[in-house]
């Protein structure tokens, strides 16, 4: 499946395109709604991970250090490709 992003200039254009897509049987969702749904899914997954993960004592400083290490590795990999 392929996605299509359409930038509209007015509310009337947006409504017209949505109605047209509906008549054609094509599902559509606004970018804002799509991003909201993705964030919601991510929050749900995170909540599941937190619920199912073993409880360990780790400081915020240790978490920050791990995050920085991962970011540095990703940045290095990105620049090597």
Asked if residue 3 is part of any domain, the answer here is no
pTM (two decimals): 0.51
Asked if residue 5 is part of any domain, the answer here is no
- List all residues 6 or more positions away from 6 whose beta carbon is below 8 Å from its beta carbon: 17
Instruction: Please give the Cα distance from 81 to 69 (Å, whole number).
Output: 19
Instruction: Decide: helix, strand or coil at residue 19.
Output: helix
Q: What is the pLDDT of residues 45-68, one digit of tens each?
A: 999 888 887 777 888 899 999 999
Asked if residue 1 is part of any domain, the answer here is no
Residue 20 to residues 14, 17, 36, 46, 71, Cα–Cα distance (Å): 10, 5, 24, 37, 44
Higher pLDDT, 69 or 80: 69
- For residue 16, give its domain range: 11-80
Count up the domains in the chain and report the number: 1
Asked if residue 4 is part of any domain, the answer here is no
């Amino acid at each position: 499946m392929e996605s299509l992003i359409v930038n509209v200039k007015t509310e009337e254009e947006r409504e017209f395109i949505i109605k047209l897509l509906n008549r054609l049987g094509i599902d559509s969702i606004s970018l804002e709604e799509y991003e909201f749904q993705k964030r919601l899914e991510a929050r749900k997954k995170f909540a599941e991970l937190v619920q199912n993960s073993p409880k360990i004592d780790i400081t915020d400083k240790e978490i920050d250090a791990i995050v920085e290490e991962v970011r540095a590795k990703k940045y290095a990999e990105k620049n090597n490709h």
